[in-house]
């Protein structure tokens, strides 16, 4: 187990380094010279040259990368080209906002997704199974942003129960905070609940057909024991992997959902940065998001190894 943990950690660290090179490389050196992009459409060659000098864009790649990476390791994420202010605090605030959304959505996904999946598998082909099946089918077919817009239409415009977007002020009460979070989290969670519950269902159905479940029944164990103590622990193992993949979807969904709801999180910060060609901001936020994803995967891998006796006890 220890070997496995060490291997995974080293692997993730290496990947992060490679990622940072990729991110930096793609944004800094690809066509459409950075300086030209910053200077805008009407720039003269002199202005472009001046920007290049100012940002050190004429240095070789590894020097530019080295500067950036060194800054990162010191906690300096650079300065926004647009606001000229340090990126660090801005991203941190955005991260906290996104985290609230993500955590709420994740809890919903885990509880509802796994719960519905297990229930439909246990009552296979029953009424519950078919209804859940239809619901999840919609969930994987309707685009996220459309679903968000429909929710806005219904709950914010027509029923006027919830705000259409944005976030509450930091010192406003819990009620206001929650009211701003409900719609975005639901939007975020919808597709994922569908996804997770389908995979859980299929994993559970497979396990219920297995030889060892049949044997548990042959030993006369009660149906409840068979499901809870024999089937479930084995069916949930692959679900851990699925949840890890879904963190990725979640992050992707965060970008879109925050745009729909104008929610001031990490995703919206990234989109703004892209729209305004704010290069350092793009680089920093992309790296942060990718790093979070990697760590989530690492945690999932370790959890899986912990719960799987074959890996844990070699």
Partner 1 sequence: MSIDPLLRVESLCVSYASLNGNVPALRDVSFSVARGEALALVGESGSGKSTVALAILGLLGSEATVGGGRILYAGADLARLPAEELGRLRGNRLSTVFQDPFATLNPSMPIGMQVAEPLMRHKAMPRQEALARAVAALAEVGLSRPAELAKAYPHQLSGGMQQRVLIASALICEPDLIILDEPTTALDVTIEAQILDLLDTLRRRRNLAMLFITHNLGVVNRICDRTCVLYAGSVLEEGPKDLTLHRPLHPYTQGLLRAVPQLGPRRRARLRPIPGHLPEAGMLPKGCVFHPRCSHALGECREDEQLLRPLEGGMVRCWRADSLPRAEDGGATAVDAHAAPTRNVLLDVQDLRKTYALGRKIRFGGPHLVRVERSEVRAVDGVSLTIRAGEVLGLAGESGSGKSTLGRCLVRLIQTSGGMIRFDGEDVTDAGGAALHEFRRDVQIVFQNPASSLNPRRRVGATIGRSLDLLGNIPRQDRQPRIDALLEAVGLPAHFANRFPHQLSGGERQRVSIARALASNPKFIVCDEPVSALDVSVQATVLNLLADLRDRLQLAYLFISHDLSAVAHIADRIAVMYAGAICEEGPTDAVLSRPNHPYTEALLSAVPTVNDATKEDSRIRLRDGANASSHTPTGCRFHPRCPRKIGPICEQKVPPVVSPSEGHWISCHLPVEELSLPAADVKNREMA
Partner 2 sequence: MVSALVEPRPARRKWRLPVTLLVGLAITGVILVLAILAPVIAPYPFDGMNILTRLKPPSAAHWFGTDDFGRDVLSRTLIGARLSLLMGFGATFISFAIGVPLGLLSGYASRTVDEMIMRAMDVLMSFPPILLGLLILTVTPPSIWKAMVAVGIVYVPAIVRLTRSVTLEIAQEEFIQAARARDDDLLYILFREILPNAWPPLIVEAGLRVTFAILLGAAFSFLGMGAQPPSSDWGLMISDARPYLEAAPWVALAPGLAMSLTVIGINLLGDGLRMALDPRLQAGKSG
155 contacts partner 2 (rule: CB under 8 A): no
- Which ranges in the chain belong to alpha helices (H)? 2-29, 34-39, 45-54, 61-73, 87-108, 115-122, 127-141, 144-151, 174-208, 211-218, 223-225, 232-260, 266-275, 279-307, 309-312
Please report whether residue 27 would count as binding partner 2 according to CB under 8 A.
yes
Q: Is 30 in the site for partner 2 (CB under 8 A)?
A: yes
Helix axes 174-208 and 87-108, enclosed angle (nearest 10):
50
3: contact with partner 2 by CB under 8 A: no
Rounded-to-integer distance, Cα 84 and Cα 81, Å: 5
Residue 15 contacts partner 2 per CB under 8 A: yes
Contact with partner 1 (CB under 8 A) among 216, 273, 281, 284: 216
Size of the site for partner 2 (CB under 8 A): 44
How far is Cα 181 from Cα 183, in angstroms, rounded to an integer?
6
> Considering Cα of 233, then 299, then 95, then 192, what sign does the dihedral take?
negative
How near is the Cβ of 15 to partner 1 at its closest, in Å? 20
Q: How far is the CB of 299 from partner 1 (least distance, A)?
A: 20
Q: Which of 106, 139, 136, 142 lies closest to 121, judged by CA? A: 136
130 binds partner 1 (CB under 8 A): no
232 or 280: whose CB is closer to partner 2? 280
Residues 6+ apart with CB under 8 A from 194: 113, 135, 136, 137, 138, 139, 140
Query: Which span (42-50, 55-63, 221-229, 283-291) binds partner 1, by CB under 8 A?
Result: 221-229
**180 with 192: CB under 8 angstroms?**
no
Residue from the set 61, 62, 146, 212 that interacts with partner 2 by CB under 8 A? 146
Does 161 participate in binding partner 2 (rule CB under 8 A)? no
**Measured between alpha carbons, how far is residue 113 from residues 108, 190, 243 in Å?**
7, 10, 10
Calpha distance 314→254 (Å, rounded): 38
Min dist. Cβ of residue 72 to partner 2 (A): 17
Among 25, 143, 233, 248, binds partner 1 (CB under 8 A): 233
Give, as ranges, the residues between 1 and 40 that touch partner 1 (CB under 8 A): 2-3, 6
Q: Which residues bind partner 2 (CB under 8 A)?
A: 11, 15-16, 18-19, 22-23, 26-27, 30-32, 137-138, 140-146, 149-150, 152-153, 157, 248-249, 251-252, 255-256, 259, 270-271, 274-275, 282, 286, 289-290, 293-294, 297
Q: Which residues bind partner 1 (CB under 8 A)?
A: 2-3, 6, 210-212, 214-222, 225, 229-230, 233-234, 237, 307-310, 313
């Amino acid at each position: 187990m220890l070997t496995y943990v060490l291997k995974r950690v080293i692997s993730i660290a290496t990947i992060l380094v490679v990622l940072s090179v990729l991110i930096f490389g793609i944004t800094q050196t690809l066509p459409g010279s950075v300086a030209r992009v910053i200077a805008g459409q009407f720039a003269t060659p002199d202005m472009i040259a001046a920007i290049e000098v100012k940002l050190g864009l004429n240095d070789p790649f590894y020097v530019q990368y080295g500067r950036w990476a060194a800054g990162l390791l010191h906690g300096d994420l650079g300065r926004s080209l647009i606001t000229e202010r340090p990126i660090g605090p801005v991203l941190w605030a955005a991260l906290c906002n996104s985290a609230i959304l993500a955590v709420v959505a994740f809890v919903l996904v885990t509880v509802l997704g796994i719960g519905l999946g297990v229930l439909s598998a246990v009552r296979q082909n029953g009424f519950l199974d078919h209804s859940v099946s239809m619901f999840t089918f919609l969930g994987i077919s309707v685009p996220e942003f459309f679903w968000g817009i429909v929710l806005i239409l219904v709950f914010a415009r027509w029923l006027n129960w919830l705000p259409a977007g944005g976030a509450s002020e930091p010192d406003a009460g819990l009620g206001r905070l929650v009211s701003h979070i409900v719609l975005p989290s639901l939007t975020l969670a919808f597709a994922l609940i569908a996804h997770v519950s389908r995979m859980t269902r299929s994993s559970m159905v497979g396990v219920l057909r297995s030889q060892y479940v049949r044997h548990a029944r042959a030993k006369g164990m009660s149906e409840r024991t068979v499901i809870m103590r024999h089937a479930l622990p084995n069916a949930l193992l692959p679900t851990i992997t699925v949840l890890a993949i879904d963190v990725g979807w979640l992050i992707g969904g965060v970008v879109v959902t925050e745009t729909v709801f104008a929610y001031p999180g990490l995703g919206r910060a990234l989109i703004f940065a892209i729209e305004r060609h704010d290069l350092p901001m793009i680089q920093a936020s992309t790296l942060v998001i990718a790093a979070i994803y990697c760590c989530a995967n690492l945690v999932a891998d370790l959890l899986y190894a912990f719960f799987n006796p074959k890996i844990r006890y070699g």
